[in-house]
């Protein structure tokens, strides 16, 4: 059993013996309460799956745990249970209930939240966001007492059952359930009433229109001058989320446009906006928005780009930089429904799929921006390098690359080369071995080569493979060798003495890493060829002319 969003393991030493740390346990309880609840397994070490076979738990410990947590926390509900593992060893399962409408804290006023498998402090800004987000956590399963379970749209229920039974992501056990049992299983109903999720998916139009706030989508198309030339609205609440996505895809003719590029004797059609990308963006907009916040989903189509604007901010713990790696569920039951019906990738992998699709087609990765009340994702229309499409296609055909390998190869090919720092910045990689894990087999297959050490290592596509793939990228100075750069700066300073680093960088080539330029300048200073005046911010460089 591994630690997850919902499960944490703790050593028995945390709450017994001389070195007990009740405050640490209280912090973890607050984390779970402020997210969606979870279980803390006390008596199982982090690296173990089971407790020691001979481990026995003191009879009064479970009661003591419950009382101490109550003394050290505010708005935290718990339940303790003594359990025996398969090997006979004992442990305590401490269940922490989610604080549905309140904010949990420690008694000394500290706030935390569970993000993935880590406990994270809540700064004041995020604390206010959590207070706003709390109602959204229970929106899906909230029962509408005035809407009975029988008030469903028969056609939507029939289609839902058909889709579930046809999905290869659903177990046979679930497929064998009756329609009524499926509604209960997917939390679309409770007792004799429909939940908000049930009304959203299988309810009738009139009831869906009364929800706060049922999704509305607006498509707006603009010309080169910024004038609106087309508008399509989905605001009559007659469609459930699946039908909305299908309608948006089929009713907008612009999605079918694209260009053909030559690939040897064949031609490949590349859409301006790939179907997988558009559908994933729409699915994200519908699944991850807070349904307690007013606002429409906007699809803005410009001559050079597509923008999707979604009401609400990103979940706490997710930023535009780390969205490729962080998984935080806002509407977990709706997300499960979308996944089971194959409307989106599994949680946390949707952006990976978009990166793969876009980079395979020679396009830029999505640009994500977060405002005060909404999140926007921008997809550029144009192919940056047609050669990249051919390069990635040929490499994938020859070596059957993984998703991460395609992403890395596409990024490196687009940028000609990438330093370790640039790589980490684009993909938001913080762990030392993360780049190596993402590159996968690319270095072993000699598709990607590297030069330099540690943070200065630079990755580039093997020139031999570029020749085989007939890759004709633009020639630039990004990979210039140190001795050539040294001579280039030497010649520049002879002509433009009394200059700044930025001015030198601008003249010799902005594609060259500025740190490489600075390194060679320092070498020229050490060689007494260049002198400097001024501090770091206003430093100027002078060529030392030799007198006869």
Q: Which of 122, 157, 190 is the last residue of a domain?
A: 122
CATH number assigned to the domain comprising residue 34: 3.30.950.30
Which of 359-368, 465-474, 505-514 has the lowest average pLDDT? 465-474
Q: How confident is the model at residue 479 (pLDDT cuts 50, 70, 90)?
A: low
Is residue 474 situated within a structural domain? no
End residue of a domain, out of 60, 94, 122 = 122
pLDDT of residue 4: 80
CATH number for the domain that contains residue 515: 1.10.10.10
Give residue 475's Cα distance to chain centre. Answer: 34
In a domain, 2, yes or no: no
In a domain, 389, yes or no: no
% pLDDT > 70, the chain: 95
pLDDT tens per residue across span 118-153: 888 988 888 878 887 777 778 888 887 689 999 999
Q: Given a cut of 90, is residue 483 above it in pLDDT?
A: no
* 220 pLDDT above the threshold of 60: yes
Q: 384, 409, 437 — which closes off a domain?
A: 384
Q: Are residues 247 and 172 in the same domain?
A: yes
Instruction: Write out the two tokens for 538.
Output: 């206003």
Looking at residue 207, its pLDDT comes to 93
Helix, strand or coil for residue 86? coil
- Work out the average pLDDT over 503-524: 86
Query: What's the mean pLDDT in 503-514?
Result: 85
Among the residue ranges 54-58, 132-136, 211-215, the one predicted with the least confidence is 132-136
CATH number at residue 158: 3.30.565.60
If we measure between CA atoms, which residue out of 523, 415, 536, 434 comes closest to residue 479? 415
Residues 72 and 11 in one domain: yes
Q: Is 18 helix (H, G, I), strand (E, B) or coil?
A: coil
Q: Is residue 263 part of a domain?
A: yes
Identify the H or E element spanning 514: helix 514-526
Q: How far is CA 217 from CA 162, 199, 286, in A?
A: 26, 18, 10
d(CA 385, CA 408): 15
Separation between Cα atoms, residue 98 and residue 92, nearest integer Å: 19
267-296 burial, b at 16+ Cβ within 10 Å, e below that, comes to ebebbbbbebbbbbbbbbbbbbbbbbbebb
What does the pLDDT look like over 322-357, one tens digit per residue?
888 776 778 889 999 999 999 987 665 778 899 999
Alpha-carbon distance of 123 to 112, in angstroms, equals 9
Domain region containing 178: 124-384
Distances 44 to 25, 66, 67, 116, 465 between C-alpha atoms, Å? 14, 18, 21, 19, 50
The DSSP bridge partners found for residue 79 are 95
* Omega within 30 of 0 (cis) for the link into 5: no
Domain assignment present for 475: no
Mean pLDDT, all residues of the chain: 88
Q: Measuring CA to CA, how many Å separate 232 from each of 19, 93, 217, 280?
A: 65, 53, 8, 20
Same-domain check for residues 145 and 260: yes
pLDDT computed for residue 101 by the predictor:
78
């Amino acid at each position: 059993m591994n630690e997850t969003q919902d499960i944490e393991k703790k050593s028995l030493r945390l709450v017994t013996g001389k070195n007990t740390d009740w405050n640490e346990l209280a912090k973890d309880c607050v984390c779970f309460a402020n997210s969606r609840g979870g279980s803390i397994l006390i008596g199982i070490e982090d690296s173990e799956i089971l407790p020691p076979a001979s481990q026995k738990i003191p009879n009064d410990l479970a009661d003591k745990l419950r009382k101490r947590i109550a003394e050290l926390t505010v708005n935290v509900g718990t339940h303790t249970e003594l359990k025996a593992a398969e090997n006979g060893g004992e442990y305590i399962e401490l269940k922490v209930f989610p604080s549905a409408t309140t904010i949990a804290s420690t008694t000394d006023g500290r706030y935390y939240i569970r993000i993935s498998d880590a406990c994270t402090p809540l700064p004041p800004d995020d604390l206010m966001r959590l207070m706003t987000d709390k109602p959204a956590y229970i929106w899906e399963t909230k029962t509408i007492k005035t809407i009975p379970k029988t008030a469903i749209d028969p056609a939507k229920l029939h289609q839902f059952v058909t889709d579930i039974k046809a999905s290869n992501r659903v177990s046979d056990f679930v497929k064998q359930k009756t329609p009524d049992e499926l509604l209960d299983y997917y939390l679309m109903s409770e007792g004799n009433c429909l939940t908000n999720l049930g009304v959203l998916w299988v309810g009738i139009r009139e009831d869906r229109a009364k929800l706060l706030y049922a999704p509305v989508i607006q498509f707006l198309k603009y010309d080169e001058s910024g004038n609106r030339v087309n508008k399509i609205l989905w605001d009559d609440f007659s469609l459930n989320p699946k039908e909305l996505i299908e309608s948006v895809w089929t009713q907008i003719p612009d999605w079918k446009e694209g260009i053909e590029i030559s690939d040897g004797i064949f031609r490949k059609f590349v859409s301006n906006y790939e179907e997988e990308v558009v559908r994933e963006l729409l699915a994200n907009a519908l699944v991850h928005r807070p349904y307690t916040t007013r606002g429409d989903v906007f699809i803005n189509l410009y001559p050079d780009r597509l923008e999707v604007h979604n009401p609400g901010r990103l979940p706490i713990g997710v930023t535009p930089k780390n969205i490729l790696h962080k998984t935080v569920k806002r509407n977990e039951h709706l997300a499960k429904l979308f996944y089971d019906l194959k409307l989106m990738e599994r949680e946390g992998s949707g952006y990976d799929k978009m990166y793969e699709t876009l980079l395979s087609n020679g396009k830029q990765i999505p640009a994500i921006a977060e405002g005060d009340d909404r999140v926007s994702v921008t997809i550029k229309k144009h192919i940056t390098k047609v050669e990249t499409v051919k390069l990635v296609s040929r490499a994938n055909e020859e070596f059957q690359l993984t998703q991460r390998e395609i992403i890395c190869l596409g990024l490196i090919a687009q940028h000609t080369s990438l330093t370790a720092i640039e790589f980490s910045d684009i993909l938001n990689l913080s762990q030392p071995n993360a780049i190596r894990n993402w590159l996968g087999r690319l270095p072993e297959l000699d598709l990607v080569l590297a030069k330099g050490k540690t943070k200065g290592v630079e990755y580039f596509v093997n020139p031999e493979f570029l020749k085989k793939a007939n890759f004709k990228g633009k020639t630039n100075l990004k990979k210039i060798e140190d001795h050539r750069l040294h001579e280039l700066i030497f010649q520049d300073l002879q002509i433009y003495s009394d200059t700044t680093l930025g001015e030198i960088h601008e003249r010799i080539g902005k594609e060259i890493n500025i740190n490489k330029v600075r390194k060679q300048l320092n070498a020229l200073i050490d060689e007494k060829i260049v002198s400097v005046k001024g501090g770091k911010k206003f430093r100027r460089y002078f060529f030392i002319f030799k007198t006869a």
